[in-house]
Amino acid sequence: MLTLVVGAAASGKSEYAESLVLSAGPARRIYIATMEPLDSESHLRVERHRRLRAGKGFETLECYTNLPSADVPAGSVVLLECLGNLCANELYSPAGSGDRAVESILAGLEHLRRQCREVVVVSNEVFSGGNRYQGDTLTYLRVLAEVNRRAAASAERVYEVVCGIPVCHKGGQMAYAGV
Protein backbone atom coordinates (compact mmCIF):
# COMPACT_ATOMS: atom_id res chain seq x y z
CA MET A 1 0.00 0.00 0.00
CA LEU A 2 1.20 3.48 -0.88
CA THR A 3 0.31 6.41 1.37
CA LEU A 4 1.07 10.01 0.39
CA VAL A 5 1.45 12.53 3.22
CA VAL A 6 1.56 16.18 2.08
CA GLY A 7 2.01 19.25 4.22
CA ALA A 8 3.51 22.71 4.44
CA ALA A 9 6.82 23.47 6.17
CA ALA A 10 6.80 22.45 9.84
CA SER A 11 3.23 21.15 9.62
CA GLY A 12 4.02 17.89 11.43
CA LYS A 13 3.97 15.79 8.26
CA SER A 14 7.13 13.82 9.13
CA GLU A 15 5.90 12.89 12.57
CA TYR A 16 2.54 11.76 11.18
CA ALA A 17 4.26 9.77 8.41
CA GLU A 18 6.44 8.04 11.03
CA SER A 19 3.35 7.15 13.04
CA LEU A 20 1.88 5.48 9.95
CA VAL A 21 5.05 3.41 9.57
CA LEU A 22 4.95 2.37 13.24
CA SER A 23 1.28 1.41 12.98
CA ALA A 24 2.14 -0.92 10.08
CA GLY A 25 3.49 -3.36 12.69
CA PRO A 26 6.79 -5.18 13.05
CA ALA A 27 8.97 -5.16 9.94
CA ARG A 28 12.33 -3.87 8.75
CA ARG A 29 11.79 -0.13 8.72
CA ILE A 30 13.71 1.74 6.06
CA TYR A 31 14.00 5.51 6.04
CA ILE A 32 14.90 6.79 2.57
CA ALA A 33 16.65 10.13 3.06
CA THR A 34 16.71 12.39 0.00
CA MET A 35 18.32 15.58 1.30
CA GLU A 36 22.02 15.77 0.59
CA PRO A 37 23.42 17.72 3.57
CA LEU A 38 25.58 20.34 1.88
CA ASP A 39 25.65 23.05 4.56
CA SER A 40 25.39 23.49 8.33
CA GLU A 41 21.64 24.22 8.24
CA SER A 42 20.92 20.96 6.43
CA HIS A 43 23.14 19.05 8.91
CA LEU A 44 21.03 20.48 11.76
CA ARG A 45 17.86 19.46 9.94
CA VAL A 46 19.19 15.92 9.49
CA GLU A 47 20.05 15.77 13.22
CA ARG A 48 16.52 16.89 14.17
CA HIS A 49 14.96 14.20 12.00
CA ARG A 50 17.38 11.56 13.38
CA ARG A 51 16.34 12.46 16.93
CA LEU A 52 12.66 12.16 15.93
CA ARG A 53 13.30 8.69 14.52
CA ALA A 54 15.61 7.51 17.33
CA GLY A 55 14.40 4.34 19.04
CA LYS A 56 11.82 3.63 16.36
CA GLY A 57 13.99 1.03 14.63
CA PHE A 58 14.67 2.73 11.31
CA GLU A 59 17.58 1.87 9.05
CA THR A 60 18.60 4.85 6.91
CA LEU A 61 19.11 4.53 3.17
CA GLU A 62 20.43 7.61 1.43
CA CYS A 63 18.99 8.15 -2.03
CA TYR A 64 19.49 11.59 -3.58
CA THR A 65 18.66 10.62 -7.16
CA ASN A 66 17.59 7.56 -9.17
CA LEU A 67 14.93 6.16 -6.84
CA PRO A 68 14.28 3.15 -9.16
CA SER A 69 17.75 1.87 -8.18
CA ALA A 70 17.13 2.15 -4.40
CA ASP A 71 18.12 -1.16 -2.81
CA VAL A 72 15.24 -1.71 -0.37
CA PRO A 73 14.71 -5.08 1.37
CA ALA A 74 11.73 -7.10 0.16
CA GLY A 75 8.73 -6.91 2.51
CA SER A 76 10.05 -3.90 4.41
CA VAL A 77 8.10 -0.82 5.48
CA VAL A 78 9.52 2.28 3.89
CA LEU A 79 9.32 5.97 4.70
CA LEU A 80 10.49 8.19 1.83
CA GLU A 81 11.20 11.78 2.79
CA CYS A 82 10.62 13.77 0.68
CA LEU A 83 9.46 14.30 -2.91
CA GLY A 84 10.33 18.00 -2.77
CA ASN A 85 14.03 17.22 -2.28
CA LEU A 86 13.96 14.37 -4.75
CA CYS A 87 12.49 16.65 -7.45
CA ALA A 88 15.14 19.31 -6.82
CA ASN A 89 17.90 16.70 -6.98
CA GLU A 90 16.58 15.09 -10.16
CA LEU A 91 16.23 18.50 -11.82
CA TYR A 92 19.41 20.21 -10.69
CA SER A 93 21.97 17.76 -9.34
CA PRO A 94 24.64 16.61 -11.84
CA ALA A 95 23.53 13.00 -11.17
CA GLY A 96 19.86 13.86 -11.73
CA SER A 97 17.66 12.83 -14.64
CA GLY A 98 16.82 16.42 -15.66
CA ASP A 99 13.88 16.47 -18.09
CA ARG A 100 12.94 12.96 -17.04
CA ALA A 101 12.51 13.88 -13.35
CA VAL A 102 8.78 13.13 -13.19
CA GLU A 103 9.09 9.74 -14.90
CA SER A 104 12.09 8.74 -12.79
CA ILE A 105 10.37 9.55 -9.50
CA LEU A 106 7.09 7.86 -10.44
CA ALA A 107 8.99 4.75 -11.61
CA GLY A 108 10.83 4.84 -8.28
CA LEU A 109 7.56 4.92 -6.33
CA GLU A 110 6.29 1.91 -8.31
CA HIS A 111 9.58 0.12 -7.59
CA LEU A 112 9.08 0.71 -3.85
CA ARG A 113 5.45 -0.38 -4.02
CA ARG A 114 6.42 -3.68 -5.70
CA GLN A 115 9.31 -4.34 -3.36
CA CYS A 116 7.93 -3.26 0.03
CA ARG A 117 4.96 -4.16 2.18
CA GLU A 118 4.09 -0.56 3.01
CA VAL A 119 5.32 2.68 1.48
CA VAL A 120 4.76 6.05 3.13
CA VAL A 121 5.83 9.04 1.03
CA VAL A 122 6.17 12.57 2.35
CA SER A 123 5.73 15.54 0.03
CA ASN A 124 5.52 19.29 0.26
CA GLU A 125 2.73 21.82 -0.10
CA VAL A 126 4.43 24.90 -1.59
CA PHE A 127 1.72 25.99 -4.01
CA SER A 128 -0.43 28.51 -2.13
CA GLY A 129 1.93 31.45 -1.92
CA GLY A 130 1.23 33.06 -5.29
CA ASN A 131 1.52 32.39 -8.99
CA ARG A 132 4.21 34.83 -10.09
CA TYR A 133 7.08 32.47 -10.58
CA GLN A 134 9.63 32.29 -13.36
CA GLY A 135 12.50 30.20 -14.69
CA ASP A 136 13.84 27.38 -12.52
CA THR A 137 11.37 28.05 -9.70
CA LEU A 138 8.41 27.73 -12.08
CA THR A 139 9.90 24.53 -13.56
CA TYR A 140 10.43 23.09 -10.10
CA LEU A 141 6.85 23.88 -9.03
CA ARG A 142 5.41 22.34 -12.21
CA VAL A 143 7.46 19.17 -11.75
CA LEU A 144 6.70 18.75 -8.05
CA ALA A 145 2.98 19.46 -8.65
CA GLU A 146 2.82 16.81 -11.37
CA VAL A 147 4.62 14.29 -9.16
CA ASN A 148 2.22 15.10 -6.30
CA ARG A 149 -0.89 14.75 -8.50
CA ARG A 150 0.24 11.51 -10.10
CA ALA A 151 1.46 10.03 -6.81
CA ALA A 152 -1.91 10.98 -5.26
CA ALA A 153 -3.75 9.33 -8.17
CA SER A 154 -1.91 6.04 -7.69
CA ALA A 155 -1.78 6.11 -3.86
CA GLU A 156 -4.27 4.13 -1.81
CA ARG A 157 -4.31 6.85 0.87
CA VAL A 158 -3.65 10.61 0.66
CA TYR A 159 -3.36 12.83 3.73
CA GLU A 160 -2.78 16.56 4.05
CA VAL A 161 -1.29 17.45 7.43
CA VAL A 162 -2.50 20.78 8.82
CA CYS A 163 -0.87 21.96 12.07
CA GLY A 164 -0.21 18.36 13.03
CA ILE A 165 -3.72 17.15 12.17
CA PRO A 166 -4.09 14.69 9.29
CA VAL A 167 -6.89 15.53 6.84
CA CYS A 168 -7.73 12.52 4.69
CA HIS A 169 -8.32 13.24 1.00
CA LYS A 170 -8.45 9.64 -0.16
CA GLY A 171 -8.76 6.13 1.16
CA GLY A 172 -9.78 6.69 4.75
CA GLN A 173 -12.10 8.71 6.91
CA MET A 174 -13.01 11.89 5.01
CA ALA A 175 -12.76 15.14 6.92
CA TYR A 176 -15.44 16.72 4.70
CA ALA A 177 -18.13 15.32 2.43
CA GLY A 178 -15.80 13.93 -0.23
CA VAL A 179 -16.39 13.67 -3.94
Partner 1 sequence: MMLIVGPLFSGKRQAAMDILGWSREELEKRAVWDVQDLAASAEDLPALAENLSHRDVVIATEVGGGVVPMDPAERAAREAAGRLTCLLAQRAETVVRVFCGIPTVLKGKLP
- Toward partner 1, which CB reaches closer, 76 or 148? 148
Q: What angle do CA 30, 166, 45 make, to 5 degrees?
A: 50
- C-alpha 34/C-alpha 121 separation (Å) is 11
- C-alpha 58/C-alpha 161 separation (Å) is 22
Do residues 119 and 113 lie in contact, with contact meaning Cβ atoms separated by under 8 Å?
yes
- Toward partner 1, which CB reaches closer, 92 or 127? 127
- Toward partner 1, which CB reaches closer, 24 or 83? 83
Do residues 16 and 169 lie in contact, with contact meaning Cβ atoms separated by under 8 Å?
no
Distance of CA 42 to the CA centre of its chain: 17
Stretch that binds partner 1, among 10-18, 31-39, 106-114, 146-154 (CB under 8 A): 146-154
Provide, rounded to whole angstroms, the least separation between the CB of residue 55 and partner 1: 32
Provide, rounded to whole angstroms, the least separation between the CB of residue 129 and partner 1: 3
Q: Which of 142, 164, 165, 172 binds partner 1 (CB under 8 A)?
A: 142
Provide, rounded to whole angstroms, the least separation between the CB of residue 147 and partner 1: 10
| Residue ranges in 115-134 that form contacts with partner 1 under rule CB under 8 A | 125, 127-132
x/- letters, 5..34, toward partner 1 (CB under 8 A): -x-x--------------------------
- How, if at all, do strands 165-170 and 157-162 pair? antiparallel
- C-alpha 73/C-alpha 110 separation (Å) is 15
- Toward partner 1, which CB reaches closer, 55 or 130? 130
- The region that residue 82 occupies, defined by phi over 0 for left and psi between -120 and 50 for alpha, beta otherwise, is beta
Provide, rounded to whole angstroms, the least separation between the CB of residue 11 and partner 1: 12
83-92 vs 101-115: helix crossing angle, rounded to 10? 130
Which residue ranges make up the site for partner 1 (CB under 8 A)? 4, 6, 8, 125, 127-132, 141-142, 145-146, 148-153, 158, 160, 169-170, 174, 176-179
